[in-house]
Amino acid sequence: MQIDALLLATVTAVAAGLVGCYAVMRRMALASDALSHVALPGIGIALVAGLHPMLGALVALFLGALLVWTLEEQTRIPTDTIIGVVFSAALAAGSMMMSSGDELVSVLFGRTGKITLIEAAFTVLAAGRVISFMLRERHRLVVSLVSPDMARTSGINVRRLNLGYMLMFALTIGLGLRNLGVLLMGSLIIIPAATARRLATHLSQMLWLAAVIAATTTALGFLLAAHLHREPGPVIVSLAALVFALTFLRRRA
Amino acid sequence: MSTILDVRNLSVRFGQSVILKDLSFELAAGTSLAIIGPNGAGKTVLFRALIGAIPFEGTVRWGPDARLGYVPQKLDIERDVPITGFDFLQARVRVGRVDIAAASSAARAVGLSIDAWKTPIGELSGGQFQRLLVAFALLGDPTVLLLDEPTAGVDEPGQEQLNELVHRLQHERGLTVLLISHELTVVSRYANQVLCLGRGMAHMGPPNAVLTPEALREIYGNPVAFHSHDH
């Protein structure tokens, strides 16, 4: 097992937990889960062009985030349908670009491998950026979550805030693709946050619970996967889902 | 009295349908304006244009002293969202760089209970939730309050208290109030100007001039039971 991969995955998980809190509260869990699919054609094009797959994934994710952001501004378009169609189509198109079934599986579900120094540095910097954005903007995000109109009259630029959030969301997905893949990374954003939402009684509690649950299930998932000789992605998401299921045993006070 | 709001030829369209057409009116500072009209007349749309939340044609000019406090129509917050009354007011404090002590004085001013402080906002009663929204609006130290049916979903005694609260705040702080309401009795009691929207028309004037059976029939289309009480 690689310690460096575990540490980087845990830092990414903290970012994912925080980002997820607003996604589950804004009722955009499904849209954000599907957004990760759009990375696949980006990876496909990057591989064909001989570029780093992460670069292709990030470009595709930013474009996908712009699409979600634009759709959110429109009230007269069936957003769910468009997101469902576009992101599923992206998954299908991207799958056809993969050179082998083995490659496809590793892109879909994640696979550990050698991490270059540049990748490690990028991951730490980008995750740090996401975490600081989420903590710094948390009050603005709360106000615009409760009422975008009240946010506007409080002097918040809601459009810019939403754009910033969507870009942070896309960046977080990009960071998690290596370990969790195109199909599972959305889950690491949504499931710990959904768990925290069930347990927390106030906002800051939800934020730190989501971060802790995401980081813990990721670290444990890595260790367990090494022990079971499995890829970590599916183990991490299964663990996170198990924790979520356990919250149903606890009655809300 | 100085003019705090000047609206000229305001039109709002959603696709093909025209919601508001060529609306012009002016408000003096300190006015209590009630906006009435049937559902779909564009009352909320007017508010959203006034706060700049939707595109419109024409001009909306707020006076230099205008600071807006907006209380939207009943919000639908899921019960289990872990945002408490405190989280919500604190967020406004942090956004506006207001002193945190202002949050408790705003909560006191609107009569928000201590429990509401710790309760997730989706679990608050209708009355407590509306008070929380008013407290939030007050944190921006507004000179203008826009209230969109603030008593919808609030029980009978709560409605009375909310109306009194808004009236008292207006009196104490010299606020300009714009209030969307369906309650014609409330309108005639508290407003000194009424803007009646409906069927592509708009009438504005003091309550006794606008709230006549003929004018109401013209706007609402059918006879509306309304009797002015002079207690």
Look at residue B70 and tell me whether its pLDDT is greater than 90: yes
- DSSP-derived 3-state class of residue A115: coil
B166 and B90 in a common domain: no
Chains A and B form CB pairs within 8 A to the count of 84
Look at residue A151 and tell me whether its pLDDT is greater than 70: yes
Q: Which chain B residues contact residue A205 at CB under 8 A?
A: 82
- Angle at the Cα of B70 (from A22 to B198), degrees rounded to 5? 115
B199 and B165 in a common domain: yes
Amino acid B100: pLDDT: 84
Compute the average pLDDT of residues A48-56: 90
**With bands split at pLDDT 50, 70 and 90, how would you rate the model's confidence at B225?**
low
User: How far is it, in rounded angstroms, from Cα A183 to Cα A189?
Assistant: 12
Which of B15, B53, B84 has the CB atom closest to A202's CB atom? B84
**With bands split at pLDDT 50, 70 and 90, how would you rate the model's confidence at B125?**
confident
Other Cβ atoms closer than 10 A to B188? 20
Percent of residues, chain B, with pLDDT higher than 70: 95
A163 touches chain B (CB under 8 A): no
Compute the average pLDDT of residues A166-194: 91
CATH of A3-246, picked from 1.20.1370.10, 1.10.3470.10, 3.40.50.1110, 1.10.1660.10, is 1.10.3470.10
Q: Which chain B residues contact residue A156 at CB under 8 A?
A: 95
Compute the average pLDDT of residues A170-194: 91
Domain ranges of chain A: 3-246
Q: Which chain B residues contact residue A204 at CB under 8 A?
A: 87
Amino acid A128: pLDDT: 97
**With bands split at pLDDT 50, 70 and 90, how would you rate the model's confidence at B231?**
very low
Compute the average pLDDT of residues A199-215: 96
CATH classification of the domain holding B47: 3.40.50.300
Q: What is the pLDDT of residues B15-60, one digit of tens each?
A: 888 888 899 999 999 999 999 988 888 899 999 999 999 999 999 9
Q: A168 with A133: CB under 8 angstroms?
A: yes
User: How far is it, in rounded angstroms, from Cα B47 to Cα B149?
Assistant: 11
pTM for the full predicted model = 0.90
Amino acid B227: pLDDT: 54
B150 and B130 in a common domain: no
Expressed as residue numbers, the domain containing B157 is 1-67+143-231
Total structural domains within chain B: 2
Among B84, B110, B141, which residue terminates a domain?
A: B141
**With bands split at pLDDT 50, 70 and 90, how would you rate the model's confidence at A178?**
confident
User: How far is it, in rounded angstroms, from Cα B45 to Cα B55?
Assistant: 10
Amino acid A76: pLDDT: 66
- Angle at the Cα of B117 (from B116 to B118), degrees rounded to 5? 90
**With bands split at pLDDT 50, 70 and 90, how would you rate the model's confidence at A34?**
confident
Question: DSSP states of chain B as a string?
Answer: --EEEEEEEEEEEETTEEEEEEEEEEEETT-EEEEE--TTSSHHHHHHHHTTSS--EEEEEE-TT--EEEE-S-----TT---BHHHHHHHHHHHHT--THHHHHHHHHHT--HHHHHSBGGGS-HHHHHHHHHHHHHTT--SEEEEESTTTT--HHHHHHHHHHHHHHHHHHT-EEEEE-S-HHHHHHH-SEEEEEETTEEEEE-HHHHS-HHHHHHHHSS---------
Kindly determine whether residue B75 and residue A155, on different chains, have CB atoms separated by under 8 Å.
no
ipTM, two decimals: 0.89
Q: Which chain B residues contact residue A140 at CB under 8 A?
A: 91, 95
Identify the residue among B46, B71, B92, B93 best suited for mutation to test binding to A, counting A beta carbons within 10 A and taking the highest. B92
Q: Could you say which residues from 90 to 109 on chain B have a Cβ atom under 8 Å away from some Cβ of chain A?
A: 90-92, 94-96
Q: In chain A, helix, strand, coil percent, each to 5?
A: 85, 0, 15
B221 and B158 in a common domain: yes
Amino acid B224: pLDDT: 56
B55 and B26 in a common domain: yes
Residue B178: beta bridge partners? B33, B146
